[in-house]
Amino acid sequence: MSLRIGTRGSALALVQTENVAGMLADRGIDTEIITITTAGDSETGVPLHAIGGQGVFVRALDDAILRGEIDVAVHSMKDIPAARPAGLACPAVLRRDSPADFLAHEIPLDEVHIIGSSSTRRRAQILRYDPALEVKQLRGNVDTRIRKLREGQYDAIMLAEAGLERLALDLPGEALPVDRFVPSPNQGTVAVACRDDPEIIGSLAGLDHAPTRLDVEIERAVMEEVGGGCFTPQGIYCRDGDLIAEVLALDGSRWERIEQHVVTLEEARVCGRELREKAKDLILEARTALGLSS
């Protein structure tokens, strides 16, 4: 069997896809990697929420699967929106890498005043930590972000530690504690999507890591109940059933949070509904501030 695997063209996306291709090769499955440009890759001059949020990185690959141009797509799972088109499946979630954010800086930490990040969550959590810090928009792939840091456009930048590890990049800085900087849902996780075809699904199922799948499905259940997508600052992280979920004001001045051990997806959905109710004013404020309909 031979599979056509679609991917974004960034260095990180290619590394993740090549890893999946290698895992399939070990199982005797040939692959061809096909690079597809997404709107999120081409429109780097505007915030993500202005062009549809994290889902813009996924949409073009979904469409290519449904048109029959590729068989499989490899995604950073945190980019996959809650609503998925009919005709797709996700038979494999790989073992999770580090879920943490990484603060990269080449000057002493006490001299850091301007931090680059396009994430509303990271911005809110940074300002909660220290309201005196300035958070400036930063888009682009990992290489572009690092270049801008080294050019002095920022004192520090926020990145996912998993991406740095996959790219074998050793940057000065530190991983941030996940209990204080709660990650985005599914951060550090790679998902393999495909056409809803039993033969393709069967060929990919051996890549699935069941404990990771349960944790990230709990996170996604909470995310779906809370709503807000990437527009509302929210962190949701689960490890071995231990769940932390929070929603913050855009300026980090207020937040609502739940910490609970969760065994089932229904328990996760109950937590999500509880958090949505507690944080409804914060969610409305964020959507209003970003010019989105309620």
Q: Are 248 and 234 in contact (CB under 8 A)?
A: yes
pLDDT at 293: 56
d(CA 222, CA 242): 13
The CATH code for residues 1-94+189-208 is 3.40.190.10
Query: Using CA atoms, how far apart are residues 262 and 241, in angstroms rounded to an integer?
Result: 5
* Positions in the chain whose pLDDT score sits under 70: 38-55, 228-230, 292-294
Provide the token pair at 99.
Answer: 């879920």
Superfamily of segment(s) 209-289 = Porphobilinogen deaminase, C-terminal domain (3.30.160.40)
Superfamily of chain region 101-175: Periplasmic binding protein-like II (3.40.190.10)
Q: State pLDDT tens for residues 240-283.
A: 999 999 999 999 999 999 999 999 999 999 999 999 999 999 99
- Can you give the residue ranges of every domain in the chain? 1-94+189-208, 101-175, 209-289
Q: Specify the pLDDT at position 55.
A: 63
User: Which residue among 30, 62, 63, 79 is the active-site one?
Assistant: 79
Active site residue 79: yes
pLDDT tens-place string over residues 91-133:
999 999 999 999 999 999 999 999 999 999 999 999 999 999 9
Q: Do domains 101-175 and 209-289 have the same CATH topology?
A: no
Phi and psi angles of residue 22, each rounded to the nearest 5 degrees, phi first? -65, -40
Burial class (CB in 10 A: 0-12, 13-18, 19+), 181: buried
For residue 118, how many other CB atoms are within 10 A of its CB? 20
